[in-house]
Amino acid sequence: MNKEKGKGKFVSNFGFLMASIGSAVGLGNLWGFPYKMGKNGGFAFLLVYLLLVVTVGFPLVMGEIALGRRTGKGGIQAYKQIDSKFTFNGWFAVLAPVFLLCFYSVFGGYILKYFIANLGDLFNLSFGVGGANSEAFFGNFIGAGLEPLIYTIIFHIATIIIVSLGISGGIEKFSAFAMPTLTVMLIIIVIRACTLPGAMAGLEFVFKPDFTVFKGTGILKVLGAAGSQMFFSLSLSSGAIIAFGSYLDKKANIEKNAAIVTFSDTLIAILAAMAVMPAVFAFNLEPSGGPGLLFVSIQAVFNDLGKTGPFFGTLFYLLVLFAALTSSIAMAEGTISAMLDAQISRGKKPNRILMSFIVMTLTLMGAILVCIDALGSKGLWHPFGLGTWLDVFDLLAEGILMPVGGFFLAILLGWVKPKVLDDELRTGSDYKTEKFFKFCFKYLATPILFFITLVQLNEFFGIIKF
């Protein structure tokens, strides 16, 4: 099945780019970004976001790729080789995707269902949405017990198959096909959405500059929302980028690659905002956040679009499916890569198929809990009174492991060993951004990641109200 030697390698720089952009572009771009932007001052949010992407996101992506390529290892051993006192941070990075997968796959399963249902509508088959009220349709589906579980398992299996096929044979091949296709589909949807009568209101919701949001503590709120969004969207501190960096050719230009990944992720988030919100506003729907946006409001748009609805619906959910799959395979690889290292250091032959199977079985347990809890509507028991199972896994990954991991990465590269990656970054690139990179790591990434961690924790525990 997997004919690669050792842990595998990307065959081309393009493959690395598609896999990394695929990791970055996910549900965070498609449903998180448009809504958060609209709710936090539109263009004002975008300005803060862009500033953060350039000064914090780009250096962190560059640092993680270089960390991976220099050591040739996944999260845990990469940190260990650079500074053994920071090995714990490798564990953070490798554990985060385990919790992420516990809920990401459930959404992946829902998306698969919606793709199939829209396909059903397209061909007038019995499993279509059939114009049903989109809120009722969603509620019935997620509460149905077995059906959402089957879709979640199928999504999980698709992820295992791709990662088991290896870096060049699975992840690279799939991403190199899925990402360009996704971009074309997204542009078609943007054109359709922006030419609907009434689309302007949606564009206004997303892009209208509202600088009054900066008043008082408002600026902190915007900074927190933009910072956490950026961090998740760029797949930072989740082992994925370090692992992909370790499979990258020594001749490749890390500086340029990091810039392309960061730029593309941001561009796709903006395009997503231009696809989603104009359509929602054109039909006078609720510009909600979270699952309500993706599965209720957007499906209502396709229901209202008349004959062409199922066509655009099928296209849209396929696009989201690709985005979710390229993200879930990156998450899985973030953990698998470190497990393969552990096998190699024990003198064993790395067994990718077995490791993929172990990671996915483990995360399936969590996904089953999230799925049968039906996003909390079933009121299943959950620990610590922290909300739903989805909230628990999200808190562990996005709330704790990822931002804390990012903070310690900034401490390591900004303060403890600022020169450690210099040679690696000079291999294949001019490293023109050296001064900028070092300054940003030291004085911006460190305090901003500390702040993002506080904001994330506050979000879950609601200590301070902004």
State yes or no: residue 232 binds ligand PHE (CB under 6 A): yes
Nearest distance in Å: CB 97, ligand PHE: 6
CA–CA dist 108, 93 (Å, integer): 22
State yes or no: residue 296 binds ligand PHE (CB under 6 A): no
Name the residue type at position 65: I
The one among 327, 429, 433, 446 contacting ligand PHE by CB under 6 A: 327
Nearest distance in Å: CB 232, ligand PHE: 6
Tally of CB atoms within 10 A around 251: 8
CB-wise, 235 or 456, nearer to ligand PHE?
235
CA–CA dist 158, 112 (Å, integer): 11
Nearest distance in Å: CB 171, ligand PHE: 12
Among the candidate windows 74-82, 232-240, 372-380, 410-418, which touches ligand PHE by CB under 6 A?
232-240
Which residue's Cβ lies closest to ligand PHE?
26
State yes or no: residue 112 binds ligand PHE (CB under 6 A): no
CA–CA dist 280, 203 (Å, integer): 10
The H helix count followed by the E strand count for the chain is 23, 0
Contacts of residue 89, defined as CB under 8 A and 6 or more positions apart, other chains included, come to 79, 405, 408, 409, 412
Among the candidate windows 21-29, 85-93, 154-162, 421-429, which touches ligand PHE by CB under 6 A?
21-29
CB-wise, 108 or 202, nearer to ligand PHE?
108
State yes or no: residue 20 binds ligand PHE (CB under 6 A): no
CB-wise, 155 or 281, nearer to ligand PHE?
155
In Å, what is the CA distance from 42 to each residue of 38, 73, 145? Answer: 5, 40, 38
State yes or no: residue 240 binds ligand PHE (CB under 6 A): yes
State yes or no: residue 53 binds ligand PHE (CB under 6 A): no
State yes or no: residue 257 binds ligand PHE (CB under 6 A): no
State yes or no: residue 299 binds ligand PHE (CB under 6 A): no
State yes or no: residue 330 binds ligand PHE (CB under 6 A): yes
Nearest distance in Å: CB 466, ligand PHE: 24
CA–CA dist 378, 19 (Å, integer): 36
In Å, what is the CA distance from 308 to each residue of 123, 219, 293, 429? Answer: 12, 42, 20, 48
State yes or no: residue 178 binds ligand PHE (CB under 6 A): no
State yes or no: residue 228 binds ligand PHE (CB under 6 A): no
Q: How far apart are the first and last CA of the chain?
A: 53
Tally of CB atoms within 10 A around 151: 23
Under 8 Å between Cβ of 410 and 104: no
Helix axes 352-372, 309-345, angle to 10 degrees: 130
Tokens of 136: 């009722």
Among the candidate windows 22-30, 249-257, 419-427, 433-441, which touches ligand PHE by CB under 6 A?
22-30
Among the candidate windows 23-31, 53-61, 151-159, 368-376, which touches ligand PHE by CB under 6 A?
23-31
State yes or no: residue 24 binds ligand PHE (CB under 6 A): yes
The one among 9, 18, 20, 29 contacting ligand PHE by CB under 6 A: 29
Identify the CA nearest to 261 among candidates 29, 436, 34, 61.
61
CB-wise, 287 or 334, nearer to ligand PHE?
334
State yes or no: residue 293 binds ligand PHE (CB under 6 A): no
In Å, what is the CA distance from 275 to each residue of 115, 131, 198, 412? Answer: 17, 21, 13, 39
Contact residues toward ligand PHE (CB under 6 A) are 23-24, 26-29, 97, 100, 232-233, 235, 238, 240, 327, 330-331
